[in-house]
Chains A and B, each alone.
Chain A
């Protein structure tokens, strides 16, 4: 299958035959792409999967956030999106007294949280009441382009299992482009190199095999 790259303003189809999906817009009965990405057809819908851009939060996403500010009864969290997110004390795993938020999370500390609400004014709310949610106290966080995250995971987590198999790293991939790694130093370098390679070559075919080959050679 040839993956077709489309640009903003590229003509994709006619409104009579197809439906306009994500990353598209309609003008004069025709469907155009609104951003740079890969064209995908799914049940009559034309979607454009972006190849670049900031993270767009979706309810249910697990994200790695950096605390920006401890407010009286909430934390302001940078989740790598266009807006900061809010984590209320009632959504934290602790019983926090009013004004004592900084005792639990300080500015600069990192957490895993889940997106629970987004309203039309783009107020994003987080919760730490989920299974993987926690405060991150060790390991390494690396940041990649959020649009490349699906490639790091791979089909049925194939890419992820390849990296885990050859490096023995423990990994948590958050939807907002941040990856939490825990492993010994030498293997960590391999894992980071593999992830950077995936980020760079995300749009190419047969990447999983190439990554596997690269990591196998490193291991020898």
Chain B
């Protein structure tokens, strides 16, 4: 196994608490109510929001609130080895956790009997696509004018070669010791999603969580800038 950390720097030259470069653009699709294109390191993600609109079939409607229906999908060409298209165990899980993370910040009770459809399309993947997906979906939701308590944001931390690092890259994700993606509501620091892959001691976990929170808050700033840029012209 190759060394992942050398002289305090990571394999791609980043410091342990450094993020990959991020580019966010709001309102890229004309037919969608809200949309966002996001590049996060090697990840390229497109998110589109439709609705609130009448939920079909009618038996899925909730007379008290709107349903948040996120769909995470990886394009077959997004990874090195062709991915078989269509939903699989992994993308079904990510769709579910994303829906639940977003549902917690949306005022769903304002739109009974409707759905808010969030489509997240991963065009290019390089570790941390669920974080990129949630971050892009949040911008698309704000762009669609959906009432929310906050603009959610996601970021991951993890452990490679025994060092707690922020925002794992593909090699670090595969060969590292742990991965901890979180999604938060940056204003209140409420956690909307927390998953962990691998092993962390309690102290390391606290450290990783702190680091991911810090990273998420920085990404949150970029989200707001992207939205402002669209509307200020």
Cross-chain contact B232 with A5 (CB below 8 angstroms): yes
Number of B residues whose C-beta is below 8 Å from A? 32
The B-contacting residues of A in range 56-111, CB under 8 angstroms, are 82-84
Cross-chain contact A7 with B224 (CB below 8 angstroms): yes
Does chain A have a CB within 8 A of B107? yes
Question: Given A35-B148, A122-B113, do A82 and B227 touch, yes or no (CB 8 Å)?
Answer: no
Interfacial chain A residues near B145, Cβ < 8 Å: 35-37, 50-54, 147
The B-contacting residues of A in range 103-124, CB under 8 angstroms, are 121-122
Cross-chain contact B142 with A54 (CB below 8 angstroms): no
Does chain A have a CB within 8 A of B51? yes
Does chain A have a CB within 8 A of B63? yes
Interfacial chain B residues near A7, Cβ < 8 Å: 142, 151, 224, 227-228
Question: Which residue of B has the minimal Cβ distance to A23?
Answer: B147
Interfacial chain A residues near B33, Cβ < 8 Å: 52-54
Does chain B have a CB within 8 A of A9? yes
* B27-66 vs A, Cβ < 8 Å mask (1 yes, 0 no): 0000001100000000000000001111000000001000
Cross-chain contact A83 with B54 (CB below 8 angstroms): yes
Does chain A have a CB within 8 A of B199? no
* B130-145 vs A, Cβ < 8 Å mask (1 yes, 0 no): 0000000000001111
Does chain B have a CB within 8 A of A25? yes
Interfacial chain B residues near A132, Cβ < 8 Å: none
Cross-chain contact A82 with B149 (CB below 8 angstroms): no
Does chain A have a CB within 8 A of B94? no
The A-contacting residues of B in range 85-123, CB under 8 angstroms, are 105, 107, 111-114
Question: Given A82-B54, A84-B54, do A25 and B227 touch, yes or no (CB 8 Å)?
Answer: no
Cross-chain contact B142 with A8 (CB below 8 angstroms): yes
Does chain A have a CB within 8 A of B5? no
Interfacial chain A residues near B202, Cβ < 8 Å: none
Shortest A149–chain B CB gap in Å is 14
Cα(A35)–Cα(B143), bound, Å: 9
Does chain A have a CB within 8 A of B75? no
Interfacial chain B residues near A25, Cβ < 8 Å: 107, 147, 149
Cα(A176)–Cα(B232), bound, Å: 24
Does chain B have a CB within 8 A of A204? yes
Shortest B14–chain A CB gap in Å is 29
Interfacial chain A residues near B52, Cβ < 8 Å: 54, 82
Which B residues are within 8 Å of any A CB, using their own CB? Answer: 33-34, 51-54, 63, 105, 107, 111-114, 142-151, 185-187, 224, 227-228, 231-233
Which A residues are within 8 Å of any B CB, using their own CB? Answer: 5, 7-9, 23, 25, 27, 32, 34-37, 50-54, 82-84, 121-122, 147, 201, 203-204
| 22 A-B pairs with C-beta separation under 8 A | A7-B142, A7-B224, A8-B105, A8-B142, A8-B151, A9-B149, A9-B186, A9-B187, A25-B107, A25-B147, A35-B142, A35-B145, A37-B145, A50-B145, A51-B145, A52-B144, A52-B145, A53-B33, A53-B144, A54-B33, A82-B111, A83-B113
